[in-house]
Structure 1
Amino acid sequence: MRGILFGVLLIIWWSTAWSQETDNWKQFLRGNEGEQGHFKVTGDYMLEGSRFDVLEAYPTIKILRSIDDTHHIVRTYGDPAKEIDGLRSVNNDWKLFIKQNASKDQFYVLTTHADKSLLNPFKIIRSYPSSNTFLIQGSLKDIKTELLPRREIISISNDVFMPSVEARVIDMNLNPNRVNKVQHYFPSLTGEAEIISIQENRFDVDDIDLLNRSVLTGLESSIVDNHATEMATIIAGKGNSFITGKGVAPNASISSSDFFDAMPDDDQSYLDLNINVQNHSYGIVKTSEYGIQARAFDQSAFSNKNLLHVFSSGNDGLAVSTDGRYAEIEGFANLTGNIKMSKNTLVVGSVDTVGNIPAFISRGPAYDGRVKPELVAYSVVGSSNSAALVSGVSSLLHQQYRISYAGADMPSALAKALLINGAEDVGPKGLDFLTGYGNVNAWESLDILLDGNFLVDTISSGETKTHALSLPPNARNLKITVCWTDPPANVGDFTALVNNLDLRLVGSTNTLLPWVLDSSPSVQELSKEAIRGIDNLNNVEQITVDDPEISYTIQVEGTNLISDQEYYIVWHYEVEDSFEWDYPTGSDNMPYNGETGSYFRWSTTFDSNGELAYTLDEVDWTVLNANVNLSDGYWRWHNPPMLNNQVKARMTIDGVPYETDFFTVSEPLSPSVGFNCADSLMIKWNESTNATNYDIYVLGEEELEEYATTSDTFLIVANKSLLSGQQLSIQPELSSGSQLLPTQTFDYTRQGIECYVASFFQTVALDTGIYLNLSLGTSYGIEEIVFQRSEFDGFVQVASITNIVSDQVDFLDSSPNQGYNEHRAIITFINGQELVLSAGSSYYLTDIPLRIFPNPASYGEPLIIITKEFEDRTPLLELMSAKGDLVHKQTVEGSQDDIPTGGLQPGIYYYRLTADNQTYSGRILIR
């Protein structure tokens, strides 16, 4: 029967497909014009038929590349002429993937097995034994003649591109993705014992938010880059610098892996380090195909079923693809790099705080129409930050899975399913190629895991598995997601999916299918809303039901599988007339960073309006908005009054109040150094209304540690050696014990304050005098300040100031010398000690038009001329000897200039300054 079936298929092929001269599979048939006899037959052939029919009909065939739905490059074992009808010999061009704008002498080579000798005599730059891949150096001509004909060579490509990071500004806000809520209600869920790998240049291990949590692997880049430091901070920052330095998993450890050529690390390195999440916030040149790199990452995830690779989607949302199915289509298919065409990984785009998509963020679909990005997360500066945030959330889920399941590692397919099923819809309605399945909601994903709303099973080809699902009568918004880690496809396959599962939800009256998108190559089709249908592209499928029944049967069918396939199903639902606050929690401050307006956030199934109000005492309430649209899920408090106090918010819906915990409304203080003397230190800060105490923290080995508490607005450290470090932070505390926003952590040695003084300098005011500007670190402990001016017989007092109440002390010397002036200050402290400061020197002229000094001058010493009358002109200066001979001439630039005296012998000289028919003269003595 199989032979008859293939005979019919071959007749159809000859009568239809073969006549379509534009079909790209024809270029690989032997005997094409220009290719006759160019390559030796290797035993590889073209065969027509569905991929799964071919594999089922002919177990002795191995598919090496699927050109389209019905044409495949195959390798046979045994005598193909006797076993299979319809084979056509192919040349070796099917192995080549050459890009005009790519490398001219470096090539990725995929082989049947990891034997370096296969590549002799070419130079091997790098080996990837986990995927039987090598990076080699050589000419394309030699590659074609020496390597291409070899049977062990599966593919050769030159898309060797240097990766580049995709955002260079940290952009921290954990509230839109509900990480703040997880951190408040699960304070022990901090990424403890998790190791997250960051593949790019190395992060700064001495950054105060990352201290002593770096795991050395030997895979690090030699280049330390600020972008990597920012990614590490978003993922696992400790918050030592400020609230915006606290990452998603602040106790996680971080390792670094060089992104030299955008390929995964060796399988064993992930296993040895127990790395289950690796972040990739970078991009490479866009290529629209399933290339060696995409396959390598799919192979990496398939070999280690617990490893989740998280990629940024890219910041090329305004770019237009130049190759592949979606070439020249604006607004779609501009993911940055072949690595993001993989299927077992997670690609993350960006949205702002209310779910709007920045125009520059890259969009899907993948080369074959698959949904990419799968998720989005907050960032307004780049998808790098969003990917890092999702990597951090993944590590929290991994930690909770270990806690719940006796230390076991969580499979990456389950991690993906939890993240996708917990996401909330943003952007275009439903599933789309801009935001995928939605905006990550860490709280919902964690809730699914804690409730145990997931299952795992394994299915064979042609089999259907069923799972019963029961729901309460008030359930609303049911969401079900199935996800599986698919075997890697072949390089160049027209679609990446290998094992095709189909999800169905069977109710009492109908059967619901997953949401699918139209992947046809046009803006109009790609912009369409999702419809229910059979998904033959993705290894993630999702069904949603707004008003579900109380019981369902979940069906999973193994439609076309080349091997048994493990899969994970997760589900989640809400309940009718529910309301729950997401932000602020009892650990939050508004505004979250003390600077910009923050959004109240909630989750609800109400679609009515509510009244939002706040109180300080739970007695008097101030209404912020009497008609909040609850379905928005947020409301912005644009200009909250800086109450520096505890506040509680309330949403009243149909007369029922829903209150937050007490949170704080405050702004950070501004610390400064009063004095930094050899043995002692004074730090000070502005008063925070309602604060009863101030806690002073010093940075220890890994985190800030409490050093002292005071009710004053300053702290004097009499013995600096008692401090464990130089980084300090001050945090106000209310009488209730609640803490307001801390100061930015600062290094007291770098504030420009030495022992009391910040600066002391002169400012010349024309026709007024010379201002003396003295900036103190503090006036604390100062009894008197005396200003002095130099005269011929020493310094004379020009002012004495007592009762000093300001750190800025200014004085005008209204009678300075004509010409050169030098000032100093003497600070006398209450304990009798004195500090003498110099303000430097300046020149002042009002009564005479010019002055030349020093006079007399030493032999060889240059003269200085200062002028008053000629500030806006360029006068001519002439020097004459005592005999009247001209010995030097120059123009005077500006109000002060130098006069060289080199070559002038000791004696008397006369000068003449001329400008606009005015002449000034005098005498100079050189000794």
Structure 2
Amino acid sequence: MRNRLKTTFAGILFLLAGTATPTLAQQSELKSTVKIATSLAQTATAEAPQQVRILPVDAAQFQVWLQEKLPHVKAKAITSSSSITLTNLKPGDLAVLQQSSLVKYIDRAHIQAKEELELKDSDLSANSISALHARYPELNGEGLLVSVKENPFDTTDIDFKGRIISSPAFAEVHSTHATTMATIIAGGANSTPLAQGVAWGSMITSSSFSNLMPDETAGLKANQASVQSHSYGVGVENYYGLESMAYDEQALAYPELLHVFSSGNSGSATTETGAYAGIAGVANLTGQFKTSKNSLSVGALDTNLAVGSLSSTGPAYDGRIKPELVAHGVGGTSEAAAVASGVALLVQQAYSLIHNGALPPAALVKAALINSADDVENPQVDFKSGYGNVDALGAVETIKQNRYFSGSVAAGATAKFILQVPEGVQQLKVTLVWHDAAASPDAPTALINDLDLRIQHVGTNQVWQPWVLNSYPHPDSLNKTATRGADHLNNVEQVTIASPTSGTYELQVEGFDLPEGQQSFYIAYEYTGGLAWLSPTSNNSLIAGSTNRIRWSSGGTGTARLAYKPHNSSTWIELSGSVDLKQPYFDWAAPDTIMMAQLRLTTNEQTLLSPEFLLAPVPKPAITLNCEGQVLLQWPALKNVTHYQVYSLQGRYMQPLQAVSDTVAILSGPEQEASYLAVAPVWANATGSRSRSVTYNPEATLCYIANFLPKQLVMDSVLFDLDLSTVYNLKEIALERFDKGTYVVVQPKALTNQTKYKLYDPAPATGINRYRARVVGLDGQVYYSQPEDVFYTQRGFVQVGPNPARAGEEVQVIAHGEGIVQLQLYNMMGQLVHSSTDGGVLKTVPTAGLAAGIYILRLQTEQGEKLVTRLLVQ
């Protein structure tokens, strides 16, 4: 009876699928029993595509048949799958393939993948990653390898220094998108603290999405890649095809590898095929591979913890829950998938440190991630956010606190596990996950081995079933809140109990329908209760004078009062008298001052105090001197800051270089070999946020004078702009003019704390004058700028050259005055032969087509001054 019900539901979806199979007319004409992908079904009797993928019944026999029936078709086996790619197809070949008894399924061939949006706003506090880093600093992904499958990332990026595993994919041109995704996952924060990735200590490599099938399992195993991140799509596809099957097969062949896919950025799209065809905004994942059962698909949340309008949603073609998770992704689901990939690495590392370096099964990692996720959107599970928002700290603590079980069960048998639930628990959550066998591409539903999860209270015998969704293809059904019931579609099942009574509970996993025999599984569980601070943490700094988002754990209800106080103060300063706890964050416009501070969240039941943290501004350093063995790193002073820490890139990461009490760091000896430098303020033994890193090039000379240029090359007053890189250790500056074979001072200038100066010659000579700037150090060392020539003119001055000019030759004009000048050229008959305006330093007048003779050139400046001169054309 159970199997009959399951088959009946599958049949309903199959009948509703519309164009999911060829029409009856086509089937009759082709006499075919071969299943074909939706995207190919309607082309069976039309012009065929040039290439397809097929799943053969027997690969060797198919190759013999192909050589006999379609000898022009080229076949290439796919090493990561049992499928074969066929190329060089001609019209009518697809119909022949459909009639072959040696072909199980025909799928579309490779489609060019596209990256799915750019990074807009990375925030590691959004998924409790900052809190995780603070509580478990040893967890950074070290010892693990993540593969980023799309275009290659930039291997010269200093945020990956020393952690890149070579790959043939790097032969292609790198992309900004891939570099951004790699940074979110594993960035080392060398260029800026904002470039810190989730698993910033992990090794990283690239794989090309020019092949949408899984990479070779042997290669992934050899490199010990444990997570592969996929942030790309191929357009809306919602069916279980050869790619989906291949990824599910690989999950069984390499059970420690977790594939993480972005759900896609087509949330407003309407699928045209399958059971959900024509229903706007549902079932629009961007790639059939994302509907695989043993992977994770991840949607995106905006800054308000709402699913982004463009985030692709489920269900999968057969009603399964997709995406399973969401994460912070202002830039789209690419970013969200990268975040989830990084968190998966930290979960793996937490397990590995406990189990002597062994990697956990990916099904356990998946269970930990799903079970710890924070509920968003509709209560419990839904087709937009899946099981909720990734909680990195909760997922890792599932492993570290050993809150999981593993087991296996046979058909008709039940595996049982005991939980002792303590008092005061707000919610008990339990999630069952198993890696299911790959389905046949023609299966109406993808689930093969069906397990059932239940929780039973031992004392009362009360039973709780999993949350299930209504997958009937109608908007009203798909948007309904989850209800409890048996789940015969998904290989993930979750049961929650709100405010459970303390006592003994039994977790029961029944082998409902197991055609392949024994099925292994993993169960994760957690107890939630009370509020907890997520950000700020004790080891991170908030930015003074900026808006900072502070966060606490989700799940609270009602309102609270939020306040802060400086260290050693007894006065709390209120930030809000009514914070909605359902929105677990607050944007604080922090005062522009440096201090140690603490936050307080007060409800009717409890008072929650944050760790003390540093509130400080961020320095803005620059290399201000690189001259004759002396190198200076300098920055504007920060108010009330008396100490700073200078960092340099040493090995893989930025490391402390020197501590200073001034706003200048003098580099000497080996320190001058540092290529990247940064600065952070220090206050009360706490260190604030590092600045962006500045690049230091030992070969780039900078001897105080950064810029020395005249206001204009032709002018009636000589005025220069002088920009100094620093005034550190300087005692004087001056403007010098070359006069009778030597330079003489024409204007000494008083030195101030400023680096920008105006220099002026009160008595220049008419014509060309040459100048230079001079600066003198406290040690008497003199530094000069490059020489600059200025043509000085007096009022009424105008000069034309060449004069005489040959006809057709361009004449240049130097004239007194600034800005745009109107030029008019008249012949001796008073006829206007040329008129133009010119704002250049040297004005030009064309003579092409002019007869030989004398011409009158008139100029009028923007100031109204009129100048006249003669021009002889020969």
TM over 0.5: yes
Tell me the equivalent position of 1:566: 520
Tell me the equivalent position of 1:130: 80
Tell me the equivalent position of 2:172: 222
Equivalent of residue 556 in structure 1, options 501, 506, 509: 509
Tell me the equivalent position of 1:407: 357
Partner SS for 2:452: strand
Counterpart CA distance in 1 for 2:773 and 2:169 is 58
Give the 3 Å change call, closer, same or farther, for CA 148–717 of structure 1 in structure 2.
same
Q: How does 1:147-186 map to 2 (within 5 A)?
A: 147-169=97-119, 171-186=121-136
Equivalent of residue 240 in structure 2, options 290, 301, 311: 290
Tell me the equivalent position of 2:778: 830
Partner SS for 2:199: coil
Q: Deviations over 1:511-554 (max 9, x none)?
A: 22211111122222221111112222111111111121322222
Tell me the equivalent position of 1:912: 856
Contact 1:95 1:148 in 2 (8 A): no
Q: Which runs of 5+ in 1 are unaligned?
A: 40-89
Equivalent of residue 531 in structure 2, options 571, 579, 582: 579
Tell me the equivalent position of 2:494: 542
Q: Deviations over 1:695-718 (max 9, x none)?
A: 222212311232222111102235
Partner SS for 1:215: coil
Displacement of 1:34? 6.5
AA in 2 matched with 1:110: L
Give the 3 Å change call, closer, same or farther, for CA 96–231 of structure 1 in structure 2.
closer
Q: Which runs of 5+ in 2 are unaligned?
A: 861-865
Counterpart CA distance in 1 for 2:821 and 2:395 is 75
Counterpart CA distance in 1 for 2:662 and 2:468 is 63
Counterpart CA distance in 2 for 1:37 and 1:444 is 57
Aligned residues: 851
Displacement of 1:660? 2.1
Q: Does 1:724 pair with 2:658?
A: no
Contact 1:200 1:221 in 2 (8 A): no
Contact 2:34 2:100 in 1 (8 A): no
Q: Deviations over 1:699-738 (max 9, x none)?
A: 123112322221111022355x64333211112222x321
Partner SS for 1:704: strand
Tell me the equivalent position of 1:691: 641
Counterpart CA distance in 2 for 1:769 and 1:677 is 33
Counterpart CA distance in 1 for 2:789 and 2:419 is 87
Displacement of 1:210? 0.3
Contact 2:48 2:93 in 1 (8 A): no
Counterpart CA distance in 2 for 1:396 and 1:142 is 52
Partner SS for 2:799: strand
Displacement of 1:665? 1.0
Displacement of 1:595? 7.5
Counterpart CA distance in 2 for 1:447 and 1:630 is 27
Contact 2:426 2:527 in 1 (8 A): yes
Counterpart CA distance in 2 for 1:95 and 1:315 is 23
Counterpart CA distance in 2 for 1:751 and 1:385 is 38
Displacement of 1:217? 4.2
Counterpart CA distance in 2 for 1:125 and 1:784 is 80
Q: Deviations over 1:869-923 (max 9, x none)?
A: 897675333689xxx9x9x975444144235799999xx985421579x883336
Q: Does 1:519 pair with 2:463?
A: no
Give the 3 Å change call, closer, same or farther, for CA 220–438 of structure 1 in structure 2.
same
Q: Deviations over 1:368-409 (max 9, x none)?
A: 221111111112111111111111111111111112223322
Partner SS for 2:133: helix
AA in 1 matched with 2:838: G
AA in 1 matched with 2:746: V
Contact 1:669 1:688 in 2 (8 A): yes
AA in 1 matched with 2:206: S
Give the 3 Å change call, closer, same or farther, for CA 406–869 of structure 1 in structure 2.
closer
Counterpart CA distance in 1 for 2:240 and 2:522 is 25
Displacement of 1:469? 2.3
Give the 3 Å change call, closer, same or farther, for CA 702–232 of structure 1 in structure 2.
same
Tell me the equivalent position of 1:460: 410
Contact 1:324 1:367 in 2 (8 A): yes
Tell me the equivalent position of 1:77: none
Tell me the equivalent position of 1:86: none
Displacement of 1:855? 7.0
Contact 1:673 1:751 in 2 (8 A): no
Give the 3 Å change call, closer, same or farther, for CA 756–99 of structure 1 in structure 2.
farther
Contact 1:170 1:230 in 2 (8 A): no
Displacement of 1:178? 0.6
Contact 2:37 2:108 in 1 (8 A): no
Tell me the equivalent position of 2:40: 98
Tell me the equivalent position of 2:863: none
Tell me the equivalent position of 1:314: 264
Counterpart CA distance in 2 for 1:911 and 1:791 is 37
Q: How does 1:436-451 map to 2 (within 5 A)?
A: 436-451=386-401
More deviation, 723-732/307-316: 723-732
Tell me the equivalent position of 2:322: 372
Equivalent of residue 748 in structure 2, options 778, 781, 800: 800
More deviation, 542-551/390-399: 542-551
Contact 2:597 2:615 in 1 (8 A): yes
Contact 1:316 1:336 in 2 (8 A): yes
Counterpart CA distance in 1 for 2:105 and 2:719 is 78
AA in 1 matched with 2:731: E
Counterpart CA distance in 2 for 1:632 and 1:651 is 14
Contact 2:713 2:790 in 1 (8 A): no
Give the 3 Å change call, closer, same or farther, for CA 889–835 of structure 1 in structure 2.
farther
TM-score between both structures, scaled by the size of structure 1? 0.83
Q: Deviations over 1:798-851 (max 9, x none)?
A: 311133431001134566666656543222333333333247445565621632
Counterpart CA distance in 1 for 2:605 and 2:496 is 31
Q: Does 1:760 pair with 2:712?
A: no
Q: Deviations over 1:415-464 (max 9, x none)?
A: 11110110111123321111111101111111221221211111222323
Counterpart CA distance in 1 for 2:804 and 2:769 is 18
More deviation, 414-423/722-731: 722-731
Equivalent of residue 844 in structure 2, options 883, 891, 898: 898
Give the 3 Å change call, closer, same or farther, for CA 815–528 of structure 1 in structure 2.
farther
Displacement of 1:689? 3.4
Tell me the equivalent position of 2:693: 745
AA in 2 matched with 1:98: L
Computed over aligned residues only, the root mean square deviation of the Cα atoms, in angstroms, reads 3.9
Contact 1:628 1:635 in 2 (8 A): no
Counterpart CA distance in 1 for 2:48 and 2:244 is 18
Q: How does 1:757-796 map to 2 (within 5 A)?
A: 757-764=705-712, 769-789=717-737
Counterpart CA distance in 1 for 2:144 and 2:17 is 52
Tell me the equivalent position of 1:476: 426
Displacement of 1:156? 1.9
Contact 1:349 1:376 in 2 (8 A): yes
TM-score between both structures, scaled by the size of structure 2? 0.88
Equivalent of residue 56 in structure 2, options 92, 104, 111: 111
Contact 2:163 2:204 in 1 (8 A): yes
